[in-house]
């Protein structure tokens, strides 16, 4: 995320659209935290400050389950704080499938009924199991999933940045709720077994 917020093309599009960004870190059933509240990106300085905040985030959860449904349900009401944003997007990243919590598909369907798009970054070490789970249970019909082959690939995943730019460029204003598993953040937060 910090890398995207330092990308000149992405920042230019975000400034033009006056996008709002918030960050939720998540993990287990009761493990969701609004780490960075809604922040408007009106200038390149706003984007730079937000990138710095993202890079300095600390890990709030340790040794917990993977429960994306609760992360989605936690993020949805936060969009009420940015009512002027007509396009609402949740970007979910992770390196695992659920091992606890409620049904991810029902949370995704709730987001869709509320006009929220969900995109994803699946961090894989082998195969495409996580990507396929994201495709089938997390992303909405108008969303996309990108596969990062490793945690190291994630911060430089240009394909995701390009997809994000495409979204920002087509929609105004945009509210992005980045829901990141606290265990897998590329800027220092690591899952028990690593993730974004």
For residue 104, give the CATH number of its domain. Answer: 3.40.50.410
| 193 lies in some domain | no
User: Of 6, 37, 165, 154, which Cα lies nearest the Cα of 92?
Assistant: 154
Which residue segment(s) compose the domain that 41 sits in? Answer: 4-181
Per-residue pLDDT of the chain in tens (196 residues, 90 and over written 9): 788 888 888 888 889 888 899 998 887 778 888 999 999 999 999 999 999 998 898 877 777 778 899 999 999 999 999 999 888 999 888 888 877 778 999 999 999 999 999 998 888 888 899 999 999 999 999 998 888 887 666 555 455 555 555 555 555 555 555 554 433 333 322 222 222 2
pLDDT computed for residue 103 by the predictor: 93
pLDDT computed for residue 25 by the predictor: 87
| 188 lies in some domain | no
pLDDT computed for residue 151 by the predictor: 67
| 196 lies in some domain | no
Tokens read off for 6: 């330092």
State the total domains in the chain. 1
- φ/ψ of 64, rounded to 5, equals -130, 170
Tokens read off for 112: 């869709």
| 88 lies in some domain | yes
Please state, in angstroms and rounded to a whole number, the distance separating the CA atoms of residues 102 and 110.
13
Displacement of CA 126 from its chain's centroid (Å): 22
Please state, in angstroms and rounded to a whole number, the distance separating the CA atoms of residues 120 and 59.
20
| 24 lies in some domain | yes
| 140 lies in some domain | yes
Count of H helices and E strands in the chain? 6, 6
pLDDT computed for residue 195 by the predictor: 25
Q: Where are the beta strands (DSSP E) in the chain?
A: 20-26, 32-40, 87-94, 116-123, 145-148, 174-181
| 40 lies in some domain | yes
Say if CB 62 and CB 149 are below 8 A apart: no
């Amino acid at each position: 995320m910090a890398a995207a917020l330092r990308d000149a093309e992405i920042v230019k599009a975000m400034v033009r659209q006056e996008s709002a960004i918030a960050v939720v870190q998540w993990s287990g059933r009761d493990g969701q935290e609004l780490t960075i509240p809604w922040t408007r990106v009106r200038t390149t300085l706003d984007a730079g400050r937000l990138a710095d905040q993202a890079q300095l985030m600390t890990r709030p959860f340790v040794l917990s389950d993977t429960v994306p449904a609760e992360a989605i349900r936690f993020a949805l009401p936060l969009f009420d704080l940015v009512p002027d944003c007509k396009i609402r997007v949740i970007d979910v990243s992770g390196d695992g499938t659920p091992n606890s919590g409620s049904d991810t598909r029902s949370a995704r369907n709730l987001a869709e009924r509320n006009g929220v798009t969900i995109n994803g970054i699946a961090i894989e070490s082998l195969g495409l199991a996580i990507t396929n789970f994201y495709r089938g249970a997390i992303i909405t019909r108008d969303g996309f999933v990108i596969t990062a082959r490793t945690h190291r690939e994630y911060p430089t995943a240009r394909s995701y940045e390009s997809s994000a730019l495409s979204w920002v460029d087509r929609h105004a204003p945009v509210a992005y709720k980045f829901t990141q598993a606290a265990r897998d953040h590329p800027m220092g937060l690591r899952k028990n077994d690593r993730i974004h």
